[in-house]
Amino acid sequence: MINFSLLISSSEVTGPGGLFDIDATLPLVAIQFVLLMVVLNIILYTPLLTIIEERKEYILTNLGKASEILAEANKLTTEYEQELDSVRKEAQFEITNSQKIHKEILEIELNISQKYIDNLLDTITKDLLNKKNIALNSLDEIVQSLCVDIETRLSI
């Protein structure tokens, strides 16, 4: 602590000046500052600002192109969705029509086959009835002839 107080007491300013001493160094420092600003502006800041500006223009043009492409893609998407909806509706309509046509064809074929089967059954039943009648008639004749044979044998 003693050294610190000794240092403070020995640093007293004696003479002109003080905190704001304006002499020949102030304009020299100001000229150096301005000169340094001009040199830095020419060497560093101007090329850096041009590069930043070019980059900004590049980004803006690419962003503009991207937004145009996105708008076109959205337009194409809506067109294709509308076309897809119309094609789906047409396909559904075609499916419905083909189902109706196939159903009608199936009904017609079923009616035709039902008529054929009915006609076949009718002819088979008629044929069977004819054969039954023929068999009964021939059986009746056989029974009659057997009866006659039995009577003749019994009468002997």
pLDDT of residue 39: 92
pLDDT of residue 2: 59
Query: Is 10 among the domain residues?
Result: no
From residue 144, give the alpha-carbon distance in Å to each of 74, 125, 150, 154.
101, 27, 10, 15
Q: What is the pLDDT of residues 73-91, one digit of tens each?
A: 999 999 999 999 999 999 9
Is pLDDT of 139 > 70? yes
Query: Is 3 among the domain residues?
Result: no
Is pLDDT of 15 > 70? no
What's the average model confidence in pLDDT over 132-155? 87
* Boundaries of domain holding 53: 26-155
The C-alpha atoms of residue 40 and residue 34 are separated, in whole angstroms, by 10
User: What is the average pLDDT value for the chain, to the nearest integer?
Assistant: 87
pTM (two decimals)? 0.45
Is pLDDT of 148 > 70? yes
Q: Which residues of 64-75 are buried (b: 16+ CB within 10 A; e: fewer)?
A: eeeeeeeeeeee
pLDDT of residue 115: 95
Cα angle value 119/123/124 (rounded, 5°): 115
Query: Is 13 among the domain residues?
Result: no
Query: Is 18 among the domain residues?
Result: no
Query: Is 1 among the domain residues?
Result: no
Query: Is 4 among the domain residues?
Result: no
pLDDT of residue 19: 59
Query: Is 17 among the domain residues?
Result: no
Q: What is the pLDDT of residues 96-128, one digit of tens each?
A: 999 999 999 999 999 999 999 999 999 999 999
pLDDT of residue 119: 94
Q: How many domains does the chain have?
A: 1
pLDDT of residue 141: 87
Please tell me the least confidently modeled range out of 14-28, 39-53, 86-100, 107-121. Answer: 14-28
Query: Is 2 among the domain residues?
Result: no
Q: Classify residue 11 by its DSSP letter.
A: T
